[in-house]
Structure 1
Amino acid sequence: MINETALLESRTLRSNILERTDALDRVKALSLLPDGMHVTTAMVAKYFSVTVEAVRALVHDHRAEMEASGYRVLTGQELSDFKQLSGIRSHTRSLALFPRRSVLNIAMLLRDSEVARQVRVYLLDMEYLARTQPVENPAPTDPAALDTRIDQRITHILGRTVVPMFNVLIATSGEHRRELIELRADIENVERKLCWHHKRLATLEGDAPADDVRAKLNAMTWRAFEHHVAGLLRRDGCVDVVVRQARTDRGIDITGRTADGRTVAVQCKNRSGRWTVPSADMQKFAGAARAIDQADVALFVATSNFSHESEAVAKLSGVITVNREELEAWSAGVLLKALR
């Protein structure tokens, strides 16, 4: 798995994932100029919670790379035309513009920003999933294969573009927030149905999607499993998702927020065989999530089942359990109800 240091230091790695600009909105809403395509230096600084001088210094040190990703400075007639088309009122003689690709480029270079670090974590999670998922190339002459490819393409667009767009609108809207949440739920229902449709077609063609998901989970290390769960949270609309680097006694492996602002704390247990989650582990996590972090949504995700005692503790403390069967369905594309 590519680490964060390699991403910070390798221009080649950065250029290979510049198209994944949805990572920006997954972490934080990015406000755009009236043209809907660009942001200014001040807007970039505000997004990453750094100074304008820090952004300018970064552009100065990586000018060629930034220009390759779309950064440019408007002057003269070009600036006048842009102001007129976009409705900007400014008396400046030059204007630096960043398209979304350039903002993502900044995120992959900016070291002293928590927002930039969260964007990098999301990118690395998605890169890991892309590398570990098998690539299928169905024959274009097969009608069933064509239907499957269309379903997968639509699902990809819904999950990577439409749902993040609704997350941004929900986060920034006040008057129509409830209607937007309902519309997002409808979109997610379509996405979920397409996922099940793809699984049904694969089953009819002799594949075993459930076995494939199960095999991937079995092959994961504890750290890969945590990043896998973090990716599922982001897929379901969560933002500010952070996989904690240090192993602590508090039992919280992942934190984040749902699209409607609720805080999330997650404990991940990657165990195999007939092992079940004991009540002691549940009590420990419940205390950390509820009493210390005071999380709105506490999730205990395990690759096994839970003991009767741990289920009872979870119910009393309000912890939501995700057992092996529910985890496989979640990994296959089913939306986790607790995050809605």
Structure 2
Amino acid sequence: MTDHHEDGSVRPRALAWAGRQLNAGERIIETEALHGGITAEMRRLTVAAPNRGTRHLVLRTFADPFFAEHAEGLLYREATTLALLAGTGVRAPGPVAVDAAAAHCEYPSLLMTHLPGRTVLDDEGLEARLPLLARELVAIHALRFAERPHEYEAWTTADAVVPPDGADAVAWAAAVDVIRKPAPRYEGRFLHRDFHPGNVLFDVSPESPADLRITGVVDWVQTSWGPADLDVAHCSSNLALLHGSPWGLRFAEEYEKAGGVLAATPEERLYWRLLDALAFAAAAQWVARPWREAGRAELTTRAVEQRLDAYVIGLMDALG
């Protein structure tokens, strides 16, 4: 059984380990659960300094048995990526310490710096946020490091797709046939691989909405090498499920306006968009839960499935 700590407390061994990573005289005085994640528990740690100042750190813990089994590779990948991102134009947390094999903590864990800002999942203001998301993704894809990350992994296959109840059977059958074909050739890019509004932090000032800006991008455990289309596809799918199909269909245009380059033909673009979208058929309940926790109470599993169906139909109409 997974030992979930939903109240924000940190398990004793993990708390002691995190405490050993602090500067001399510092101590952890408060812990708080950060909601919105699917695969890991996230905790914000408030650290007090001898001069009475405070700072924050973030503790990622893979407590779920499935993800804990794969945590060693995931956490080392994220810690390595965060170190590489330091000094680039892409704002990300900095790695503090990693216990990927749970040698010191109850479960595999990563301690990192805390970024200002917050995720924004509301419909209001999306028109202004969309270009910022696109520009940030273009910046990520422009990164070049001496060593490439591992090749991307597809998150579904044609044989694994089960359409939601009530979905358009004709559209889904045609969509599945698209991803049954071999993947198109592509020019590789550095991918976040899980880029979407839930992993982007904004500085949102009610007094000055025109000064909206991105303060950071988090959750780099899936970093990989592959086509820019795949990152665009994942953000598009999330936008469609969060805000409606038209927003998902529009994101690729914003990406190109920001200087991003996508596959040359509609058929190639459709393949990558559907490869991502169809993976959500098995994940609707998992993505809907953190969205509801973040305040989107209307996004039930059924509502997300209906939006997914509309998005798949929209893709087939627009690019099929």
TM-score, structure 2 length as denominator? 0.31
Greater radius of gyration (CA): 1
Name which structure has the greater RCO, CA cutoff 8 Å, separation 6+: 2
State the TM-score, normalizing by the size of structure 1: 0.29
Q: Which structure: greater helix fraction?
A: 1
